[in-house]
């Protein structure tokens, strides 16, 4: 019983570490290609793209042999977060 409780508690504490950013897409969104272009101009290579459950643009890519996820605000095109994979 103690092991179950401890496992549940640790899983709950770890969950926010894996949370993706959330955006509030408006009516005047930046084109997706602009975010991809920004990432490529920094030397990145786009492998895949999606709009995450929070409404942010999410690029799966690599840069300097490091795989990463990069999140962009669809309203401004600004990078929000970068997570090395």
Residue 27 included in any domain = yes
Domain count, the chain: 1
Is residue 30 in a domain? yes
Residue 26 lies in a domain: yes
Range of the domain at 65: 22-84
Kindly report the pTM of this predicted structure. Answer: 0.76
Q: Determine, yes or no, domain membership for 9.
A: no
pLDDT digits (tens, 9 = 90+) for 33-42: 999 999 999 9
For residue 63, give the CATH number of its domain: 3.10.450
β-pairing, 66-72 with 79-84?
antiparallel
Q: How far apart are CA 61 and CA 17, in angstroms?
A: 20
Confirm whether 32 is domain-assigned: yes
pLDDT 10s digits, 41-51: 999 999 999 99
């Amino acid at each position: 019983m103690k092991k179950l409780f401890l496992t549940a508690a640790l899983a709950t504490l770890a969950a926010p570490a894996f949370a993706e950013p959330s955006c509030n897409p408006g009516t005047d969104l930046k084109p997706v290609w602009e975010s991809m272009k920004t990432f490529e101009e920094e030397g990145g290579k786009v492998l895949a793209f999606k709009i995450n459950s929070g409404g942010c643009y999410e690029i799966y890519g690599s840069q300097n042999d490091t795989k990463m996820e990069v999140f962009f605000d669809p309203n401004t095109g600004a990078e929000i977060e970068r997570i090395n994979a």
